[in-house]
């Protein structure tokens, strides 16, 4: 009888928290691999983002859906604070612009053990880029302040199945909501003279994609993971499809990506995780066109280490590195969304309050990056500086 009552309580908790998940699905974000954060969730954020073969919280479904099979019934809340600055010039070294913002992004994950071989979870994560330079880029009559915001919120229901105790398979649907705002853009008019491009305020789009993953633990010392996510195909952002996003018909699709990972446990309490991730920006409408962001594909490496100091404390550190998604010919467009720092050093820790409740904190320092414009972007240079502070709470039930 007690088992049945506990099962009912778990189901009620699951559906109640699902409602909370929908309620917080309008978050802001800023990222370091293009529009993506280095890590998803509070735990992997302290390990350079490494999570494909090392699921530690529900947000790891964004890296490998199969990982939720190893987590049991739990809920994760986390929040991220990103102080970011962009120190730019536009057209010439004497035309200096400075953007400073502090962005807050909440995240959420819920996983439920349906049966010994099955789990179902929901993850909400964000991505995006932003800037606000506080003045027009050039003294053009009628031009507004140069600022932009791209926010992508993904809700990922995920199901996993374990055909063998050592093997997990997972699949996710990805439902996206996208908000885009741009102002302060100037462009040549019919007579060749620069004139302001009108801002259309906030425009919204919805999208859908999918992901699949496998996690295999052949021995207690080694886990291997592999995952693939399709593009998230978004509807057009109507106000911008005839000007700023005309080359893509108003679309800004999130790119497909795939990755492999390994987690090794050479000593009791010590775990080393390595990930390789390929982000295919060149196939994503909106990001890949030469007259917009002109993003290039990225090869991302993530290295993380964790150590169980004692029964209460776990310490973490990590490093993430990639080729830059932005080249020197595309600094003009990317000064509006300067996600250009491809290297980050991270640290983090978890404190176990008791067997069911834990708190986690992580810090990320993104190594400042400067891109000097060339060709059509000559004279437009970007230097981006930011850090990421993440805190999270986990409850197992």
Residue 235 banded pLDDT, cuts 50, 70, 90: very high
What percentage of the chain exceeds 90 in pLDDT?
Answer: 66
Identify which has the larger pLDDT, 7 or 179. 179
Q: What does the pLDDT look like over 117-137, one tens digit per residue?
A: 999 999 999 888 888 899 998
Mean pLDDT of 194-222: 95
Mean of all residue pLDDT scores within the chain: 89
Reduced 3-state DSSP string for 214-238 = EEEEEECCEEEEEEEECCEEECCCH
Q: What is the CA radius of gyration of the chain?
A: 22
Q: Which residue shows structure tokens 């980050």? A: 344
Enter the tokens of residue 101: 């913002």
3-state secondary structure of 116: coil
- Each residue's pLDDT tens digit, 259-303: 999 999 999 999 999 999 999 999 999 988 877 788 899 999 999
Q: Rounded CA gap, 69 and 133, in Å?
A: 45
Please state the rounded mean pLDDT for residues 148-169.
96
Q: What pLDDT does residue 20 have?
A: 33
Mean pLDDT of 172-185: 94
The maximal CA–CA distance of the chain, rounded, in angstroms, is 81
Give the position of tokens 């930011």. 386
CA-CA distance, 250 to 245, in Å (whole number)?
Answer: 5
CA quadruple 195, 197, 198, 201: dihedral sign: negative
Using the structure block, give the residue that is written with the tokens 């007690």.
2
Tokens of 88: 């730019």
The 10s digit of each residue's pLDDT in 359-370 is 999 999 999 999
Q: Where are the domains of the chain?
A: 2-396
Q: Note the pLDDT of residue 32.
A: 61
Residue 393: CB atoms within 10 Å:
15
What is residue 336's DSSP assignment? Answer: T
Name the more confident of 102 and 356.
356
Beta-sheet pairing, 222-229 with 194-196: unpaired
**Which 8-state DSSP code applies to residue 9?**
H
CA quadruple 363, 229, 57, 47: dihedral sign: negative
34 pLDDT band (50/70/90 cuts)?
A: confident
Q: What is the DSSP letter of 125?
A: E
CATH superfamily membership of 2-396: Outer membrane protein transport protein (OMPP1/FadL/TodX) (2.40.160.60)
% of the chain with per-residue pLDDT over 70? 92
The first and second tokens of residue 265, run together, are 């446990």
**Residue 17 banded pLDDT, cuts 50, 70, 90:** very low
Q: Is the pLDDT of residue 333 over 60?
A: yes
H/E element, 23: helix 2-23
Residue 153: the pLDDT is 94
pLDDT at 2 over 50: no
Distance CA 356, CA 75 (A): 10
Q: Residue 16: CB partners within 8 Å, gap ≥ 6?
A: none
Q: What is the pTM of this model?
A: 0.89
Closest by alpha carbon to 43, among 305, 321, 228? 305
In whole angstroms, give the CA distance from residue 336 to residue 199: 14
| HSE of 65, CA atoms in CB hemisphere, 13 A | 27
Whether residue 187 contacts residue 194, with contact meaning beta carbons closer than 8 Å, is answered with yes
- Judge whether residue 249 has pLDDT over 70: yes
Query: Residues with Cβ < 8 Å from 169, sequence gap 6 or more?
Result: 66, 69, 160, 161, 162, 163, 212, 213, 214
The total of other beta-carbon atoms located within 10 Å of residue 385's CB is: 18
């Amino acid at each position: 009888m007690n088992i049945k009552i506990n099962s009912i309580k778990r189901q009620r908790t699951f559906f109640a928290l699902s409602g909370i998940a929908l309620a917080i699905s309008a978050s802001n974000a800023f990222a370091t691999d293009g529009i993506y954060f280095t890590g998803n969730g509070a735990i992997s954020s302290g390990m350079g983002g490494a999570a494909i073969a090392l699921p530690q919280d529900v947000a790891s479904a964004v890296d490998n859906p199969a990982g939720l099979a190893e987590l049991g019934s739990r809920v994760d809340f986390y929040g991220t604070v990103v102080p970011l600055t962009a120190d730019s010039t536009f057209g010439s070294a004497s035309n200096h612009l400075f953007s400073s913002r502090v962005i807050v992004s909440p995240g959420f994950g819920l996983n439920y053990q349906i049966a010994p071989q099955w789990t179902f979870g929901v993850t909400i994560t964000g991505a995006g880029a932003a800037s606000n330079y506080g003045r027009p880029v050039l003294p053009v009559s009628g031009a507004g302040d140069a600022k932009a915001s791209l926010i992508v919120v993904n809700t990922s229901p995920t199901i996993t199945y374990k055909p063998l105790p050592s093997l997990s398979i997972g699949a996710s649907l990805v439902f996206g909501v996208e908000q885009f705002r741009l102002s302060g853009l100037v462009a040549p008019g019919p007579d060749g003279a620069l004139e302001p491009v009108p801002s259309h305020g906030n425009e919204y789009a919805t999208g859908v994609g999918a992901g699949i993953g496998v996690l295999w633990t052949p021995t207690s010392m080694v886990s291997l993971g592999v995952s693939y996510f399709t593009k998230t195909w978004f509807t057009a952002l109507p106000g911008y499809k005839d000007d700023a996003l005309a080359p893509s018909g108003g679309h800004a699709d999130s790119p497909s990506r795939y990755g492999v990972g390994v987690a090794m446990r050479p000593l009791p309490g010590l775990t080393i995780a390595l990930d390789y991730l390929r982000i295919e920006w060149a196939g994503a409408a909106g990001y890949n066109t030469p007259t917009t962001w002109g993003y290039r594909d990225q090869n991302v490496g993530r290295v993380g280490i964790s150590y169980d100091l004692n029964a209460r404390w776990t310490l973490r550190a990590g490093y993430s590195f990639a080729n830059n998604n932005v080249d020197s010919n595309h600094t003009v467009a990317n000064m509006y969304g300067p996600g250009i720092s491809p290297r980050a050093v991270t640290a983090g820790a978890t404190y176990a309050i008791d067997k069911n409740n834990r708190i986690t904190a992580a810090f990320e320092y993104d190594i400042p990056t400067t891109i000097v414009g060339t060709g059509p972007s000559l004279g437009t240079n970007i230097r981006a500086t930011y850090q990421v502070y993440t805190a999270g709470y986990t409850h197992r039930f």
